[in-house]
Structure 1
Amino acid sequence: MATARTASPATMIGVNKPTNGHFKGQTKPTGQQSGLHGTSQLPSAPIIRSSIPQSSGGIKFGDDWKKCLELPQKDNRVKTSDVTSTKGNEFEDYCLKRELLMGIFEMGWEKPSPIQEESIPIALSGRDILARAKNGTGKSGAYLIPLLERIDLKKDHIQAIVMVPTRELALQVSQISIQISKHLGGVKVMATTGGTNLRDDIMRLDEIVHVVIATPGRILDLIKKGVAKVNKAQIMVMDEADKLLSQDFVILIEDIISFLPKDRQILLYSATFPISVQKFMNKHLKKPYEINLMEELTLKGITQYYAYVTEKQKVHCLNTLFSRLQINQSIIFCNSTQRVELLAKKITQLGYSCFYIHAKMMQEYRNRVFHDFRNGLCRNLVCTDLFTRGIDIQAVNVVINFDFPKSAETYLHRIGRSGRFGHLGLAINLITSDDRYNLKSIEDQLVTDIKPIPGSIDKSLYVAEYHSVDPDDDDVYSHRTCEI
């Protein structure tokens, strides 16, 4: 079973050799530390503690079970209409098990988002779903809640499979599954991905497993070896379905489906639906219920700017952004693994703490970087497009395209790493003369306006609960230029 290591990287002063994707430098007193007291670890939300058993066995009929919950601090940040324009439903309206409701509320999910309102009752009915919704609006909960509700603990076989395109997303989804099912009293969730020990997965599947979250190659290997028996699995979810049905995975997905029972339920979720999804739907889904909460490929709440620079000016521009922006956490995208490591090293030389991650790293190290960055041990992460699919780190409020992407789809998924669950975010693109045609093309395709970077950026556009603009925050970008 794929697991994330919890060991923290040792703090290194100055420039050191990278430790498994962890670059750390001496921290500067910059804009990145505003409101964080100069610490290297981000503050975590305080927990409202109360005595509660790990299962609901200690709650008797008639008790006010909500009083016993361990609730996270209420999130009062501004949210966009992507998550606030609901019908007013409550999670209790769906007749879910009390134990599942306990896990949902302890995740901090107070009310269903629009995609959850549309999806949960249909998924509970057993009908196939084709759902399209913006990144970061609660798609994971939209399929995990009905999936876990339908798990029968009296049956000791695999009942549901969740397919995802990346190992990091598999770990994230499995962690969410375990958290919201912790009071259900015995739901067994397993994550299995490539790059991990196959023998460990085989041994795990020799025990009871109800839900498998997997990347296509690894689960197909386990199925063909006769270890993962999916002939009784009633539900198959495809998260980031457009990627799973691309040329990289579609043959594997078709092969996996051939092992499932004919009366299985298939749920497809994504932000973009190319023609490959339509073909798959026509072939494998039975009268699917279609949900479309994205009439346009736009991201509300994400303010987008570009800085027109030469290749040699990029690092200087990044240094200026770091020193002046109020960054909680940032993700910086490069177009190659080599540039990821070089940039991470350069950022460290500039005096900022930095992690990096890319597909050529050993899985054990990728797990550690992902886990540590998600837990706030570092503010900046440099990565390739490995990190564009479904990764949900709510503390990320700034995304920087150090290298501008070539496709609108990639751009959409990249900048969607900020502004999670309707919160505000900032996307800054470093544009060279070679990128200007791609910039115009992406603006046209997404029907959006990426503006030249201004002399100062209103912090209320991307900083949670920021109520005023620093009057001294002018002339932020000394080398900014005008229109292309």
Structure 2
Amino acid sequence: MATRMENAGPAVMGLNTHNRQFVGQPKAPSQLGPQTASPQPMGTQKPETNAFQAGPGIRFGDDWKRSLQLPSKDTRVKTSDVTATKGNEFEDYCLKRELLMGIFEMGWEKPSPIQEESIPIALSGRDILARAKNGTGKSGAYLIPLLERIDMKKDHIQAIVMVPTRELALQVSQISIQISKHLGGVKVMATTGGTNLRDDIMRLDETVHVVIATPGRILDLIKKGIAKVDKVQMMVMDEADKLLSRDFVVLIEDIIGFLAKNRQILLYSATFPISVQTFMAKHLQKPYEINLMEELTLKGITQYYAYVTERQKVHCLNTLFSRLQINQSIIFCNSTQRVELLAKKITQLGYSCFYIHAKMMQEYRNRVFHDFRNGLCRNLVCTDLFTRGIDIQAVNVVINFDFPRNAETYLHRIGRSGRYGHLGLAINLITAEDRFNLKTIEDQLVTDIKPIPGSIDKSLYVAEFHSVDPDCEDEAEAEAEVFKPAGGSDAL
């Protein structure tokens, strides 16, 4: 049960403007303990240096699995979203042993349904249109075959992964680096808008095999002649529905125009609008279609609503903090201004809190994302910037402080909890203006959002959490400089 911090300092992070020193840095929250002023660090102890070295020392018949540095076994209950498989193993796909080592050291024991369906088809070189729920392993479904097909003897860009947000680019690059760490030579680069173009130019002057990028930045690099993509054999579009929206589709079309005619295109998303059909007919060659979305919402997420007035929202949030057992929570608002105001209010209530939105400088966003992911704060307030693909498995509670405007946004928001078949809780603060929208979203998603009970059973959203060693993270991306300080009016 969460309790207030006794000696709460300024937990929304910032810089002392007089001496440029960090102020108010909270300690990391405990995994299951109370929400107090002095929580314990999350995550497992770093493993000792791996004595096993991939490469010439590997011989057929070696018991190579015994030498792996595996994370703590995840004993949490999993739903059928990830357990309803055909019983395949990663070894069944004839992957390089060094790639298998990285997969197992990520803690991935067996392929999920989307990985079972996708990996062998992607390895064959065929185009794919895949629809699967958030948090069921889509990143692994395309990264595993992508890395398997990289030829390290060639020094040009061989694959591009397109994502809609900078945070998702950072996350995907981190996963890629960890999975490929035993391959000995795969060069992965993340490039997004808001970062130093000179750094990207210097990195592309050297060997890069895989580029994870947002559309605007990679198109800029291509047009400047810096990123050579004419030999790219695979292009992946993660969160493809967003990439094919009006904000991005023109950029995507331009990028494809620079690729070779025989390139492979893989599309992955939880939702696909009508525009996807037009794109598929124009650019995909007899795509293999995967649809694992008979039910739209994740089975492990319990959904509630609390009927409140606008003035009661902060008080209701305070009550939830005091009664819920929160590992980490993500709290959504509908505007950047309300994000900053709410973060300040939460800090005044005595709880540790970060916030993030699209109008922040990129270096601030990188630092907040990196530190929240590594458990340095319990609560994150954000806009819909954080709804796309972000996978932080310690998050077991999502709160819609402002109810979303459409079913697609709601689906992506609540999908930040209950990752990879685990349990999660979604709580919606509903005003009189939201009640019709609530019914519409229930009907469109064919889901049941129930009134919040006086006491919520902890077994619905609390389970023992084991984190994966974060050492895989790209140091260049992780070393952002400062936090964004809270500001704005006191009125919310």
TM-score (norm. length: structure 2): 0.89
Relative to structure 1, the CA distance from residue 33 to residue 67 in structure 2 (aligned partners, 3 Å threshold; closer, same or farther) is closer
**Counterpart residue type for residue 235 of structure 1:** M
* Cross-structure match for 2:331: 332
Letter in 1 for 2:371: D
Q: Does 1:398 align with 2:397?
A: yes
Q: Alignment partner of 2:208: what SS?
A: coil
Establish whether residue 226 from structure 1 lines up as the match of residue 221 from structure 2: no
Q: 2:174 and 2:119 mapped to 1: Cα distance?
A: 20
Structure 1 residue 32: deviation in Å? Answer: 9.0
Q: Which amino acid aligns with 2:179?
A: I
Q: Is the 8 A contact 1:306 1:452 kept in 2?
A: yes
For residue 40 of structure 1, give the secondary structure of its aligned residue in structure 2: coil
1:50, distance to aligned residue in structure 2 (A):
6.7
Q: What CA distance in whole angstroms lies between the structure 2 residues aligned with 1:153 and 1:122?
A: 22
Q: Which amino acid aligns with 2:216?
A: G
Deviation larger for 449-458 or 294-303: 294-303
Question: What is the deviation of 1:40?
Answer: 3.5
Equivalences for residues 246-395 of structure 1 within 5 A:
246-395=245-394
- Counterpart CA distance in 1 for 2:149 and 2:37 is 46
Query: Structure 1 residues 144 and 32, CA, compared in 2 at 3 Å: closer, same or farther?
Result: closer
The equivalences for 1:123-272 within 5 A come to: 123-272=122-271
Q: Distance in 2 between matches of 1:376 and 1:25?
A: 12
For 2:211, the aligned partner's letter is V
Q: How far apart are residue 256 of structure 1 and its match? A: 0.2
Which whole-Å CA distance do the structure 2 matches of 1:335 and 1:403 have between them?
A: 6
Distance of 1:205 and 1:130 partners within structure 2? 30
Asked if 1 retains the 8 angstrom alpha-carbon contact of 2:12 and 2:24, the reply is: no
SS for the counterpart of 1:72 is coil
Q: Which residue of 1 aligns with 2:473?
A: none
Question: Aligned equivalents of 2:402 and 2:31: distance in 1?
Answer: 21
Question: Aligned in 2, Cα 1:57/1:443: closer, same or farther, shift over 3 Å?
Answer: same
Per-residue CA deviation, residues 29-73 of structure 1 (Å, 9 max, x unaligned), is x99962688643542134665742453443333321001101000
Which residue identity does 2:9 align to in structure 1?
Answer: G
CA-to-aligned-CA distance 1:455-476 (integer Å, 9 cap, x gap): 110000000159xxxxxxxxxx
Contact 1:241 1:270 in 2 (8 A): yes
- What is the aligned partner in structure 2 of residue 14 from structure 1? 9
| 1:40 counterpart = 2:39 | yes
Correspondence list, 1:97-116, <5 A:
97-116=96-115
Report if aligned partners of 1:25, 1:352 keep a CA contact under 8 Å in 2: no
> Is 1:435 equivalent to 2:430 in the alignment?
no
Label 1:151 to 1:81 Cα distance change in 2 as closer, same or farther (>3 A). Answer: same
Distance 1:179 1:64 in 2: 21
* 1:294–1:24 Cα change, 3 Å: farther
Relative distance call for 1:23 and 1:114 in structure 2 (3 A) is farther
Whole-angstrom CA distance in 2 between matches of 1:287 and 1:47? 46
Distance of 1:24 and 1:83 partners within structure 2: 40
Q: Distance in 1 between matches of 2:38 and 2:119?
A: 41
Indicate conservation of the 8 Å contact 2:30/2:42, yes or no: no
CA contact (8 A) 1:195 1:363 kept: yes
Counterpart Cα distance in 1 of 2:134 and 2:26: 34
CA distance 1:56–1:44, change in 2 (3 Å): farther
1:324-346 CA-partner distances (Å, limit 9, x unpaired): 10000000000000000000000
Matched with 2:460 is: 461
Residue by residue, what CA displacement relative to the aligned partner does 1:250-270 show, whole Å, maximum 9, x if unpaired?
A: 000000000000000000000
How far is the alpha carbon of 1:15 from its aligned partner?
3.7
SS at match of 2:295: coil
Q: Which residue of 1 aligns with 2:477?
A: none
- In the superposition, the TM-score normalised over structure 1's length comes to 0.90
For 1:470, the equivalent position in structure 2 comes to: none
Does the 8 Å contact 1:50/1:69 carry over to 2? Answer: no
Equivalents in 2 of 1:356, 1:43: separation in Å? 19
Deviating above 3 A after TM superposition, structure 1's stretches of 4 or more consecutive aligned residues are 15-18, 22-27, 30-33, 35-42, 46-51, 53-61
Q: What do residues 67-120 of structure 1 show as CA deviations (whole Å, max 9, x unaligned)?
A: 110100000100010100000000000000000000000000000000000000
8 Å CA contact 1:25–1:354 kept in 2: the answer is no
Q: Is the 8 A contact 1:13 1:25 kept in 2?
A: no
1:474 aligns with none
Tell me if structure 2 keeps the 8 A contact 1:83–1:113: yes
Find the residue that maps to 2:14 and give its secondary structure. Answer: coil
2-structure distance, mates of 1:204, 1:25: 33
Structure 1, unmatched stretches of 5+, are 1-11, 467-484
Q: How big is each residue's C-alpha offset from its partner over 1:358-406, in whole Å with a ceiling of 9 and x where there is no partner?
A: 0011000100000000000000000000000000000000000000000
Task: Note the C-alpha offset of 1:295.
Answer: 1.6
Letter of the 2:249 partner, please give it. V
3-state SS of 2:160 partner: strand
Report the Cα distance in structure 1 between the residues aligned to 2:229 and 2:40, rounded to whole angstroms: 42
* Structure 1 stretch displaced more, 442-451 or 60-69: 60-69
Cα distance 1:31–1:115, how it changes in 2: closer, same or farther (>3 A)?
closer
Q: Which residue pairs with 1:452 in the alignment?
A: 451
Give the AA of the match of 2:100. L
Q: In 2, Cα distance between the equivalents of 1:211 and 1:144?
A: 10
Contact 2:30 2:39 in 1 (8 A): no
Is the contact between residue 136 and residue 421 of structure 2 (CA under 8 Å) also seen in structure 1? Answer: yes
Secondary structure class of the residue paired with 1:208: coil
Task: Write the letter of the residue equivalent to 1:210.
Answer: H
CA deviation profile, 1:261-320 (whole Å, cap 9, x unmatched): 000000000000110111111110000000000023222110000000000000000000
CA distance in 2, matches of 1:104, 1:17: 36
Moved more, 196-205 or 32-41: 32-41
Aligned-partner Cα distance in 2 for 1:17–1:385: 19
Give the RMSD, CA atoms, in angstroms: 2.1
| Contact 2:11-2:354 at 8 Å conserved across structures | no
CA gap of 1:314–1:191, structure 2 versus 1, over 3 A, is same
SS of alignment partner, residue 266 of structure 2? strand
* Identity %, equivalent residues: 85
Determine helix, strand or coil for the equivalent of 1:287: coil
Residues 55, 182 of structure 1: 8 Å contact kept: no
Distance in 2 between residues matched to 1:246 and 1:408, nearest whole Å: 16
Aligned AA for 1:14? Answer: G
Letter in 2 for 1:285: L
